[in-house]
Amino acid sequence: MKKFIGIMAVLTVIFGITAAANAAQITEAQAKEIALKHAGVSAQQANFTKMKLDREFGRSEYELEFFVGNVEYDYEIDAADGTVRKFSRETHAAAPFQNGGQQGQPAQPGLIGEQKAMEIALARVPGAKPEHVRELKLDYDDGMQLYEGEIFYNFREYEFEINAVTGEVVGWEID
């Protein structure tokens, strides 16, 4: 009986500490505000393509990605105190989501285009629809033009790389 009471006391302390840590966590809206302020842009200018709470090296952090025109901003913000842990800013040849969130046209002749790349990726995730695509961008990696993206569907994350010329899926991960 004493062991049971001791175990219950330890569990109560552990859960109490966990609850206190989670209670002190910043909100998703606060993380967005921090990133936008750091980037020097307004919420009306930004088109968020990724917003995820994740655990890295034992701490919770928000991973955010947004575009302002053809400029991509990536942020990692500590969920406990709102510290910007990591950020990057990358300018692309064309905005990946033009015309109010619709996929844009191919950046160069001879490419399959974002719409076709999205169709190829979605075909591998039964039930997923275009609104489940959280990221889609044209990139140049290892001498090859690729459409890279993420699909979030049914509590799973699918990351893909598609050859921008041939449409071949050259990378596929499921988390």
**Tell me, what's the pLDDT at 104?**
45
Mean pLDDT across 66-70: 83
Contact at 8 Å (CB) between 148 and 120? no
Helix extents (H) in 69-151: 114-122
> Which pLDDT band, with edges at 50, 70 and 90, does 93 fall under?
low
pLDDT of 6 higher than 50: yes
In one-letter notation, the amino acid at residue 95 is A
For residue 68, which of 87, 93, 95 has the smallest C-alpha distance? Answer: 95
Contact at 8 Å (CB) between 172 and 160? yes
Give the DSSP letter of residue 27.
Answer: P
Walk across the sheet containing 133-141 and list its strands: 133-141, 144-153, 156-163, 169-174
pLDDT of 59 higher than 60: yes
> Which pLDDT band, with edges at 50, 70 and 90, does 7 fall under?
low
pLDDT of 38 higher than 50: yes
Rounded CA-CA distance 53/65 in Å is 12
Residues 72-83 have pLDDT tens digits of 888 999 999 999
Residues 131-162 have pLDDT tens digits of 999 888 888 776 788 999 999 999 999 999 99
What integer best gives the mean pLDDT of the chain?
Answer: 81
pLDDT of 13 higher than 70: no
Mean pLDDT across 105-125: 83
Rounded CA-CA distance 159/135 in Å is 9
pLDDT of 2 higher than 70: no
Task: Please list, in sequence order, all residues whose beta carbon lies within 8 angstroms of the beta carbon of residue 68, skipping any fewer than 6 positions away.
Answer: 39, 41, 45, 46, 47
SS3 48: strand
pLDDT of 16 higher than 80: no
Q: What is the pTM of this model?
A: 0.47
Q: Which domains does the chain have, with CATH numbers?
A: 25-91 (3.10.450.40), 97-174 (3.10.450.40)
**Tell me, what's the pLDDT at 71?**
81
Mean pLDDT across 15-32: 69
